[in-house]
Amino acid sequence: MEGDRVLWAQIFLVLAPSYIVFGYNQAGVGGLVDFPSWVKQFPEIDTTNTTGAQKSKNSTVQGAVVACYTIGALFGSLLCTWIGNRLGRRRTIFLGACVCFVGQTLECTAYALAHLVVGRVVLGFGVGILSATVPVWISECCPPEKRGRNVVLVGMFIALGFATTQWVNFGFYHIEDLAASWRGSLTVPFFFIFVILLSVFSLPESPRWLVLVHRSDSARLALATLRGKDTDSPEVIAEISDIELALEEHGNLKLKDLFTMTEDKLFYRFMLCVMLQFFQQMTGGTLISVYTSIIFQDNLGLGASTSKILAACALTWKFLSCFVSFLVIDRLGRRLALMISGGGMALCMVAMAVSTYFSATTRSASITMALFVFIYNFFLPIGFLGANFLYTTEVAPSRLRVAMQSISTANQWLWMFVVAMITPVAITDIGWRYYIVYAAVGAVVVPSIFLFYPETMGRNLEEMDAIFREGSSIFEVVSMSKTLPRQNGPTREMEAKAYVEEIN
């Protein structure tokens, strides 16, 4: 295979299964907490058959059990800071899939709460490795004009994982009083893990990583395969030259350089990545994805079966809404997509707070609240269920791309842990007021993106390095990113041919 076929193979054999596992396991246990067999096996986290102080205590433990997965993922992401450039993209992905296999096995075979927690932490560790590495690998392999739509598929497959787990849990819920109900639900991700293990080494390594480790001949071969060109074609030679030049200009960057504001503006770029992943969580992404059925059941007073059907429908709608992001990310640009997404989610959270407040006395308020869960799931994928992973790989320099992606993704997992930990208690104790927190954060997103985030659409990764370096201030970087002509398409090909002629 070569050209587009390789890119699609990367997407469906590695990107898709990695993020389906991500989404499935993030939401999976949250949908099992009211299974009769689950409650019987783990009575310490039973919030269905308890009341008062005991329910409050169990809610805290339940939140910790659901959230420990994210702690494992946090450390898995951070590990990539050290191993990402040592092992390369493919071997790091393979390692992450192996760890996922071990964690999934431990989780499925759990007979005690401590056993379950260990399995969730190990599984999260493997998913953290995948979430920090796969977007980097895809973005480094894609041409600029296809990078946006290909990497933003991350969000689509996370949403597919969310939707799949809700429908699977709904089906297994009706196997009453059998451990096979929840154990069967937790075995589904094994299929996707096996797909990654069997396919990753049949696909090309990142040409940018190969140049980084001084394997330029291998890099040229990998790039030629990815572009569907000969190794001696002008386009391949010019792109390899650009990568080599960018690495030379950065010199020998160290991790500590992330906190410096030299001409490369590394700290500014680092904070763009960190804050974007913070926004992704604190606008309500995990709240709606993991606890949808609990929101319907506890806040709206719906039955368990009805809540699960509604939750499955809401997350299926989120998956379908991801196609909007796929279509617009390389048309609207990153900035506009993120602003539309953040503003829309903030308005939905305000509406959810108001409708939840009146839901105890008014049936129409309950219906309105459910409606805004669906509307929220339309706005989230436009910018903050894929584009956030894409953007962090686009603004990071080659030598520190894995480090920036790893730390910013770990930051996302940290806030995911906070949300997963406090949500059961918050829903029980403060109800509608909980949604105001997410509305406030969402309101900050639009001005932050407008003022501080440069546009990256259509630019190769080395071109973004030049924009950050040449802008004299943060605001000039943002301005340059919107006004400078892009180096792709026919112009790029003419420059490549001129470059080869100059060498000859």
- DSSP label at residue 15: I
Compute, in degrees rounded to 10, the torsion defined by CA atoms 388, 394, 400, 401: 60
Length of the chain: 504
Q: What is the pTM of this model?
A: 0.81
Name the token pair of 472. Answer: 């004299």
For residue 504, pLDDT over 60 is answered with no
Best CA proximity match to 409, nearest among 78, 4, 63: 78
42 vs 37: CA distance, rounded Å: 9
Q: What is the rounded average pLDDT of the residues 297-325? A: 79
281 vs 228: CA distance, rounded Å: 38
Residue 478 within a domain = yes
Confidence of residue 321 (pLDDT cuts 50, 70, 90): confident
Each residue's pLDDT tens digit, 41-67: 888 877 767 777 787 787 778 778 877
475 vs 77: CA distance, rounded Å: 31
Q: What is the pLDDT of residue 344?
A: 94
17 Rama class: left (phi>0) / alpha (psi -120 to 50) / beta: alpha
The residue range of the domain holding 206 is: 4-248+263-503
Q: What is the rounded average pLDDT of the residues 306-326? A: 83
Q: What is the pLDDT of residue 251?
A: 63
254 against 393, higher pLDDT: 393
Q: What is the rounded average pLDDT of the residues 432-455? A: 92
Each residue's pLDDT tens digit, 333-377: 889 999 999 999 999 999 988 988 887 677 787 788 888 889 999
Compute, in degrees rounded to 10, the torsion defined by CA atoms 53, 55, 61, 63: -120
For residue 19, pLDDT over 80 is answered with yes
Each residue's pLDDT tens digit, 126-183: 999 999 999 899 988 988 778 777 777 888 898 888 888 878 887 887 776 677 788 8
Residue 258 within a domain = no
Contact in structure between 93 and 137 (CB atoms under 8 Å): yes
pLDDT averaged over every residue in the chain: 84
Contact in structure between 101 and 191 (CB atoms under 8 Å): no
Confidence of residue 396 (pLDDT cuts 50, 70, 90): confident
405 vs 388: CA distance, rounded Å: 10
For residue 300, pLDDT over 70 is answered with no
DSSP state string for 145-177 = HHHHHHHTHHHHHHHHHHHHHHHHHHHHHTSTT
Tokens 């890119």 found at = 7
Name the token pair of 342. Answer: 């953040």
Contact in structure between 154 and 135 (CB atoms under 8 Å): yes
Each residue's pLDDT tens digit, 81-128: 889 889 999 999 999 999 999 999 999 898 888 998 999 999 999 999
206 vs 139: CA distance, rounded Å: 9
Confidence of residue 299 (pLDDT cuts 50, 70, 90): low
Residue 74 within a domain = yes
Contact in structure between 146 and 278 (CB atoms under 8 Å): no
11 against 500, higher pLDDT: 11
Residue 113 within a domain = yes
Helix boundaries (H) for 297-333: 304-332
Q: Which CATH number does the domain housing residue 377 bear?
A: 1.20.1250.20
Each residue's pLDDT tens digit, 217-264: 999 999 999 988 888 888 888 888 888 887 777 667 777 888 888 888
Name the token pair of 120. Answer: 């969730």
272 Rama class: left (phi>0) / alpha (psi -120 to 50) / beta: alpha
For residue 502, pLDDT over 80 is answered with no
Name the token pair of 292. Answer: 């949808």
186 against 54, higher pLDDT: 186
Residue 78 within a domain = yes
φ and ψ at 314, to 5 degrees? Answer: -65, -40
For residue 494, pLDDT over 50 is answered with no
The total number of structural domains in the chain stands at 1
